[in-house]
Amino acid sequence: MMACAAGKGLTHGSQQAQTADMDSFLIDHEPGIRMGVFFGLLGLMAIAEAIFPARARLLSRKERWPSAVALILLNALILRGVFPALAVGFAAISQDLGWGVIPALGLGFWPATLLAFVLMDLAIWAQHVAMHHVPLLWRFHRMHHSDVDLDAVSGARFHPGEIVMSMAYKILVVVLVGPSVAAVIIFEVVLSGAAVFNHANIRLPRRVDRVLRWCVVTPDFHRVHHSIIPGETNSNYGFFIPWWDRVFGLYRAQPSKGHRGMTLGLDHDRDGRAARLDQLLMQPVRSRAQTPPQASEESGAG
Ligand SMILES: [Zn+2]
């Protein structure tokens, strides 16, 4: 009995040591890992988009990219200015205080990390559904949907208001779920890389896409979500794990007009002027921003 207890103590101790080792490795290399994955994938996808484009562009890169890059930089600055600590910082505080569901389960490092990842992905998926159905949230999220072209840069083109709300929500999720610092860093790195990949304007062979979309959200999977047709906009909410849309009946395999024939974006804010930074930032306060797309409009749009 005592030997068993001692064994358990040792196992628990080694699990804590493994978590601490992984935490300190990831914290030490965090900026390099984040930047490396994000910009590495961005470069890779930009090359792939030039070789295997899924669709022709409506606006030039010159019209879309300067405002998108400015938003990415602005969002990074705003997050650091608004929050005393980000999700990773709150994970460290939660870990010290033993908050959240996962520490109470006494799992090893990898099962705990996997469970944390799945729960956080589900929480982000649910937030995305809410963004489409709550008028106030749609005011901010619609800027991401107003992109009339999709490419790797679209994956980080969000309104600062949405970025701040998302971080506040993610901190709440972290406190409730109780992931380790390592789990949060892994989740955030994977999610930002996934967003670059699943917004990319690339054409994967249909057979590759069919297999891959059981494991991760692919560009064809996510492109349906950016259709101008409301019933398609309000489907395929997943960012990385593709199962939630299937489980909750919100999955559409392909756009009704095909990937080349479909129209991306919304039925307004479609010209080059609307893609300017000042216009993008003003979108939430403009009057027509208030209504999320309704399935009943489906026949009339697109
Ligand atoms: Zn959306």
Identity of residue 82: V
Whether 202 contacts 53, CB under 8 Å? yes
Q: Is 126 exposed, middle or buried (0-12, 13-18, 19+ CB in 10 A)?
A: middle
Q: Is 85 exposed, middle or buried (0-12, 13-18, 19+ CB in 10 A)?
A: exposed
Give the model's pLDDT for residue 274.
86
101-110: which pairs have CB atoms within 8 A and are 24 or more residues apart? 101/176, 101/177, 101/178, 102/177, 102/178, 102/179, 103/178, 104/178, 106/12, 108/15, 108/18, 109/15, 109/18, 109/19, 109/22, 109/180, 109/182
In a domain, 44, yes or no: yes
In a domain, 3, yes or no: no
Of 16-25, 99-108, 122-131, the least confident: 16-25
Number of domains in the chain: 1
In a domain, 300, yes or no: no
CA of 237 to the centre of ligand 1 (A): 6
**Which band of pLDDT confidence, cut at 50, 70 and 90, is reported for residue 300?**
very low
**Which band of pLDDT confidence, cut at 50, 70 and 90, is reported for residue 268?**
confident
Of 27-31, 41-45, 153-157, 215-219, the least confident: 27-31
Cα separations (Å) of 219 from 37, 55, 201?
18, 12, 7
CA of 127 to the centre of ligand 1 (A): 10
CA of 14 to the centre of ligand 1 (A): 42
Higher local confidence (pLDDT), 158 or 287: 158
Give the model's pLDDT for residue 221.
96
Give the model's pLDDT for residue 4.
41
Identity of residue 132: H
Give the model's pLDDT for residue 13.
61
Structure confidence by residue, pLDDT tens digits, 52-84: 999 988 888 888 889 999 999 999 899 888 777
CA of 284 to the centre of ligand 1 (A): 15
**Which band of pLDDT confidence, cut at 50, 70 and 90, is reported for residue 98?**
confident
CA of 246 to the centre of ligand 1 (A): 16
**Residue 85 pLDDT exceeds 80:** no
| Domain extent at residue 118 | 16-292
Give the model's pLDDT for residue 168.
92
Mean pLDDT of the chain: 87
In a domain, 10, yes or no: no
CA of 225 to the centre of ligand 1 (A): 7
In a domain, 281, yes or no: yes
In a domain, 52, yes or no: yes
In a domain, 11, yes or no: no
In a domain, 1, yes or no: no
